[in-house]
Amino acid sequence: MRAFLAGLEETGDLKRITRKVDARFEIASVLSLRERGPAQFFETVGGSPMPVVGNLFNSRARFARALDIAPEDLDTACLNALQNPARPVLIEDAPVQAVVHRAPFDLGALLPVPHWFEKEAGAYITAGVIVARDPETGRRNVSIARLRLEGGGRIMAGIARNHHLAMLAEKARLRGHALEIAVAIGNHAAVLIGSQMYLGLGDDEFDIVGGLLGEGVELVKCRTVDLEVPAHAEIVLEGELRPEDLIEEGAVSEFPGFYVYYGPGIGGEIKCVTHRRDAIYQAILPGYAAEHCLLGAVAIGATLTRDLRRSIPAVRRVLVTEGGMGRLHAVISMHRPRLGEGKRAVLLAVGLVNLLKHVVVVEDDVDIEDPRQVEWSLAARFRGHEDLIVLPGVKADRCDPLHEDLVVTKIGMVATTRPGDGEAGGRSEFARPPAAIYEHVRRNLDDY
Ligand code: MN
């Protein structure tokens, strides 16, 4: 993350805020008002020796830049990583262990953890990449979940029951013990994206991180738990989740931008904190915010592209859109699909990703990152009486703002070409200057 911050500063993409800010709602307000554009670096946070950085990965281009690739190659890079994973590498001396604090301590005094929204009951760590091991198989899991500070070293983790970390906590509970965790904060973009990939239980997300990096991610053994963490993170918290110890969460923000009331979260305790000298605390603005939405969107889009292409070769790309909260809306692009193949893609997509609710399928001659072109497709190629799928009463994700008894209506709109479309003399033949002149000008456009 450090090298990336230095690069952003060089090109004016990092805004340094020198005035003292309060971690209680003031950081949240600045990040929210400057949701897009430069990353925000808070040099002086009241009551903490650590600076805070936020809005770091608030565009697809920013993710691409952090991975050292062109913006249009982001999806391909993610797809490649899924197909060419690389095992992590264990190293001995890690910058993230330069400073070690052992309990007792107050996490809130050690780290500048922001309070985000008015009705939430406490400060939340939002960019914490949580590493845990399956008590049954010993396989590693890497994911992000919100962690609320509960005073001292106590924490509460908010995790949906179907998430891998919650399943591991449940396995630990059935065995009558706690689940060791390590939380890495201030990570390379590859670690953040990799942690969000939809993999099978038992698949190690760090392998995908290695795929994104082009080499195994460097890990170091934790000091007090039997886990490994990214050696170049800024901060690591070591401790455990106690699945018997449930803590009522109350109101918490979710990606639709609304408060939700999920009930109790899993309690836990942090017993050791390690960090770099001059560590920087990374915060991700939660709720309906670009970075929060995109982080999920990039990973869901990549895994869905892989899965759909396995069954339907005409599928080119899946974009999970920011407007759809990075979770609920997808645009699928297909190349010359056969009759009915677009509908099949919709059914597979909403079947594979519980969150997806509205899916638009377009031809790959339009740019699915451009909402104007997607809308053009609907105007030019979507016939409401036969290209619309309405599926009432489908199992919904609990995060969907409109679910009723955990079911929702899912909708597909297929706006692709049909066999025969575009033929000379037909109603969908594009109007263009003569091809020879047009192509000549296109190749030499810089000269005009
Ligand atoms: Mn997993």
CATH number, domain at 325? 3.40.1670.10
Examine the domain organization and report whether 111 and 250 are in the same domain.
yes
**Cα 140 to ligand 1 centroid, rounded to whole Å:** 8
Side-chain-facing half-sphere of 137: CA atoms under 13 Å: 11
User: Once rounded to an integer, what is the mean pLDDT over residues 176-203?
Assistant: 97
The residues near 76 (Cβ < 8 Å, ≥ 6 apart) are none
Give the pLDDT confidence score for residue 423 in this predicted structure. Answer: 87
Classify residue 80: in a domain, yes or no.
no
426 CA to centre of own chain: 43
Classify residue 79: in a domain, yes or no.
no
**Cα 77 to ligand 1 centroid, rounded to whole Å:** 20
Examine the domain organization and report whether 249 and 104 are in the same domain.
yes
Place of tokens 């994206």: 193
The last residue of a domain, from among 224, 249, 279:
279
**Cα 375 to ligand 1 centroid, rounded to whole Å:** 35
**Cα 205 to ligand 1 centroid, rounded to whole Å:** 6
Classify residue 440: in a domain, yes or no.
no
Classify residue 238: in a domain, yes or no.
yes
**Cα 194 to ligand 1 centroid, rounded to whole Å:** 10
Give the pLDDT confidence score for residue 65 in this predicted structure. Answer: 97
What band does 262 get if pLDDT is binned at 50, 70 and 90? very high
Classify residue 330: in a domain, yes or no.
yes
Burial class (CB in 10 A: 0-12, 13-18, 19+), 281: buried
- Ion ligand 1, residue ranges at CB < 5 A: 141, 164
Classify residue 347: in a domain, yes or no.
yes
**Cα 309 to ligand 1 centroid, rounded to whole Å:** 22
Examine the domain organization and report whether 337 and 399 are in the same domain.
yes
392 CA to centre of own chain: 28
The last residue of a domain, from among 10, 34, 56:
56
Q: Look at residues 365, 354, 310 and name the one whose alpha carbon lies nearest to residue 330.
A: 354
Judged against a pLDDT cut of 90, whether residue 426 lies above it is answered with no
Examine the domain organization and report whether 120 and 22 are in the same domain.
no
Classify residue 445: in a domain, yes or no.
no
User: Once rounded to an integer, what is the mean pLDDT over residues 358-383?
Assistant: 97
316 CA to centre of own chain: 21
- Helical packing angle, 290-311 and 341-352, nearest 10°: 130
- CATH code for position 253: 2.30.110.10
CB atoms < 10 A from the CB of 204, how many? 18
**Cα 208 to ligand 1 centroid, rounded to whole Å:** 11
**Cα 138 to ligand 1 centroid, rounded to whole Å:** 13
pTM: 0.95
**Cα 236 to ligand 1 centroid, rounded to whole Å:** 19
**Cα 234 to ligand 1 centroid, rounded to whole Å:** 23
**Cα 122 to ligand 1 centroid, rounded to whole Å:** 27
Classify residue 272: in a domain, yes or no.
yes
Examine the domain organization and report whether 298 and 338 are in the same domain.
yes
**Cα 38 to ligand 1 centroid, rounded to whole Å:** 31
CB atoms < 10 A from the CB of 169, how many? 26
Examine the domain organization and report whether 274 and 295 are in the same domain.
no
What band does 199 get if pLDDT is binned at 50, 70 and 90? very high
The residues near 386 (Cβ < 8 Å, ≥ 6 apart) are none
The last residue of a domain, from among 279, 307, 340:
279
**Cα 215 to ligand 1 centroid, rounded to whole Å:** 20
Examine the domain organization and report whether 234 and 329 are in the same domain.
no
User: What integer best gives the mean pLDDT of the chain?
Assistant: 96
**Cα 203 to ligand 1 centroid, rounded to whole Å:** 6
% of the chain residues with pLDDT over 70? 100
Report the domain count for the chain. Answer: 3
Domain, as residue range, for 341: 291-415
Examine the domain organization and report whether 30 and 129 are in the same domain.
no
**Cα 412 to ligand 1 centroid, rounded to whole Å:** 28
**Cα 213 to ligand 1 centroid, rounded to whole Å:** 19
Q: What is the pLDDT of residues 28-38, one digit of tens each?
A: 999 999 999 99
Examine the domain organization and report whether 154 and 258 are in the same domain.
yes
Examine the domain organization and report whether 119 and 19 are in the same domain.
no
**Cα 133 to ligand 1 centroid, rounded to whole Å:** 10
% of the chain residues with pLDDT over 90? 96
Examine the domain organization and report whether 364 and 390 are in the same domain.
yes
Judged against a pLDDT cut of 90, whether residue 50 lies above it is answered with yes
Examine the domain organization and report whether 44 and 127 are in the same domain.
no
